[in-house]
Chains A and B, each alone.
Chain A
Amino acid sequence: MSQKPVDLDHWIDAMAPLLRLPVADDHRAGVKANLKTAAKMAALVEKAEPSEQPEPAPVYRP
């Protein structure tokens, strides 16, 4: 994780067209709050899991 603060508006503005998911103005504050929480959660996971070795939990069995 970069230590630089994440610009949450840029994040939404970049992802919304890719997902074809318009974010209404009155929904934006809530989405930003959740993205901020998610970024903190991702930092916790990254700190705990430096290894590249484990197979991700869901394994497809043909």
Chain B
Amino acid sequence: MKPTTSAVEIARDVKAGTLTARLVVAAALGRIDANNGRLGAFTQILSDRARNQADKVDQQIKDGAALPLAGVPFAVKNLYDLKGVVTRAGSKINRDNPPALEDATLVTRLEAAGAICIGSLNMDEYAYGFTGENAHDGPAHNPHDIAHMTGGSSAGPAAAVASGMVPFALGSDTNGSIRIPASFTGLFGLKPTYGRLSRHGTFPFAASFDCVGPLARSVEDLALGYDAMQGFDDADPAMTRRPMELLAGKLDRGGAGYRVALAEGYFAGEPEAREAVAVVVKALEVHRKVAIPDAAAARAAAFLITMAEGGALHLGRLRERAADFDPEVRDRLIAGAMLPAAWIDHAQKFRRTFRDRMLALFEDVDAIIAPATPMRAPRIGQKTAQIGGIEMPLRPNIGIYTQPFSFVGLPVVAVPLWIGANRLPIGVQIVAPPWREDIAMRIARQLEKIGAAESHVAPGFADA
């Protein structure tokens, strides 16, 4: 099995009996062994668990079981619980916790569908960062240029998928943490509607916004994983009872007929982002533009709520073990714990107002196109960037285009673009109304089919 083999191909061949899950796992473990040292993708590699699950899958296939993800290896950001493993959530402090007693709901569902969890992946500490630079485990490196960031906080998932270690991985997205690494490493990433997928068994960050979802190298792989994870779970209080809306194999009708508009104003800013969006606009023949009023305030409100909820969540750890935090995360969390309650209440009220405005916009359009990041992946260690013509701190500003949409829980697919001779990709967001992941996924699939958006294993890793 090659690093470029997709989840769809693996499942097809394992189901057909022309490939065994055991061989798939051996190949994946070999690639991880060869490349993890220079990429910093995996923090825990669960070889025995993976081999045991592979044997189980191979037996189930022999017994005639129908497993949509038969033999597909995957890995999870290390904030997902894996039975017997300490859920570190990118931190030093959580390493002192006891091992998880059960797998996270999504891991259980994927493995019930025949997938095989290989291990857990690097991330920004407590998911509070967009760079993928972890103070304790070291940075995750961008497989397309290892001197550059993966983006974060789902940094290890991005490095693992973009280097072909696994065909898809699970991340989480509070303010952009799936969409940003997807943009920087050239992957498709799905941030579902808030409340669509169960967060049970994942370490939280800002409960008002936390979402979980997949990153992959194709839209069909994204759909295959997404389908297996859907369904109500009363262990996650944010979940809404929705019927499952299966997408695998149903995406090829494409985005034709959808009313697509380009977000202007706030989202029209940075040159690299503008160039990326122009490719999508041309490919989809988008003529409509839409102004999103108060997008800057939406981002600001998301910023405040995140700070406050994060500060409250970690208050005990900040009291007892402040020196054990990543300093950049710690100082933001301390400040977050000190914010006036009235600010947070205003921000939550504005969230309602902004949601109503977005729903009004969606009466006239089916999807909105916006950049995913202001720039391509910065170099690891870079602290500032030109944003709006001003040298700004990089870390908090990478998410300026993602935060306004997750603020109101909208589903978004990030699609990767490669422009000119630049070896680093950049992503564009396809934003859909609540619960219409199908629209964003179909448009993403259309962009993929016509070659406007594309993902591949990074050169240098594709033949490993």
- Is the pair B319, A20 in contact by a Cβ cutoff of 8 Å? yes
* Closest residue of B by beta carbon distance from A52: B349
B396 at the A/B interface (Cβ < 8 Å)? yes
Those of B354-388 within 8 Å (CB) of chain A: 355-356
Question: With A20-B319, A49-B350 given, is the CB distance from A44 to B338 under 8 Å?
Answer: no
Residues in A neighbouring B303, C-beta threshold 8 A: 37-38, 41
Closest to B340 in A: A42
Chain B residues with Cβ below 8 Å from A46 are: 346
Pick from A27, A41, A47: contact of B322, CB below 8 A. A27
Which residues B340-356 have CB closer than 8 A to chain A? 340, 343, 345-353, 355-356
Query: Does A30 sit within 8 A of B, measured CB to CB?
Result: yes
Q: Are A30 and B328 in contact (CB under 8 A)?
A: yes
Q: Are A30 and B327 in contact (CB under 8 A)?
A: yes
Smallest Cβ-Cβ distance to A30: which chain B residue:
B331
Complex Cα distance A38/B336, Å?
A: 8
A7 within 8 A of B: no
- B315: chain A residues within 8 A (beta carbon): 19, 21
SS class, residues of chain B in contact with chain A: helix
Residue picked from A20, A30, A34, A35, most chain B C-beta under 10 Å: A34
How would residues 312 to 333 of chain B score, 1 for a CB under 8 Å from any chain A CB and 0 otherwise?
0001001100110001101110
Given A31-B334, A45-B347; A55-B322 close (CB under 8 Å)? no
A38-B335, A55-B352, A57-B348 known; A44 vs B319 contact (CB < 8 Å): no
Question: Which residues of A sit under 8 angstroms from B340, Cβ to Cβ?
Answer: 42
A57 and B334 contact, Cβ closer than 8 Å, known pairs A27-B327, A34-B307:
no
Q: Indicate which residue in B304, B318, B343 contacts A21 across the interface (CB closer than 8 Å).
A: B318
Contacts of A45 in B (CB 8 A): 297, 300-301, 304, 343, 346-347, 350
Q: For chain A residues 22-62, which have a beta carbon within 8 Å of chain B?
A: 22-24, 27, 30-31, 33-35, 37-38, 40-42, 44-49, 51-52, 54-58
Shortest CB-to-CB span from A54 to chain B, Å, is 4
> Measured between alpha carbons, how far is A15 from B328 in the docked complex, in Å?
20
Within 8 A of A (CB), among B289-316: 294, 296-297, 300-301, 303-304, 307, 315
Instruction: Specify which of A19, A37, A57 lies most central, judged by the most chain B CB atoms within 10 Å of its CB.
Output: A57
B208 close to chain A: CB less than 8 A: yes
- Closest residue to A49 on the B side, CB-wise? B350
Distance (whole angstroms) from the CB of B332 to the closest CB of chain A: 5
Residues of A within 8 A of B300 (CB): 40-42, 44-45
Are B330 and A30 in contact (CB-based, < 8 A)?
yes
Complex CA gap A56/B301 in Å reads 12
Interface residue ranges, B against A (CB under 8 Å) = 208, 294, 296-297, 300-301, 303-304, 307, 315, 318-319, 322-323, 327-328, 330-332, 334-340, 343, 345-353, 355-356, 396
11 contacts across the A-B interface (CB closer than 8 A): A19-B338, A21-B319, A22-B322, A34-B336, A35-B338, A37-B396, A38-B336, A46-B346, A55-B349, A57-B348, A58-B208
A42-B343, A49-B346 known, 17 other contacts, Cβ within 8 Å: A15-B337, A23-B334, A24-B322, A27-B327, A34-B307, A34-B334, A38-B304, A38-B343, A41-B300, A42-B340, A44-B300, A45-B350, A48-B297, A49-B350, A55-B349, A57-B352, A58-B348
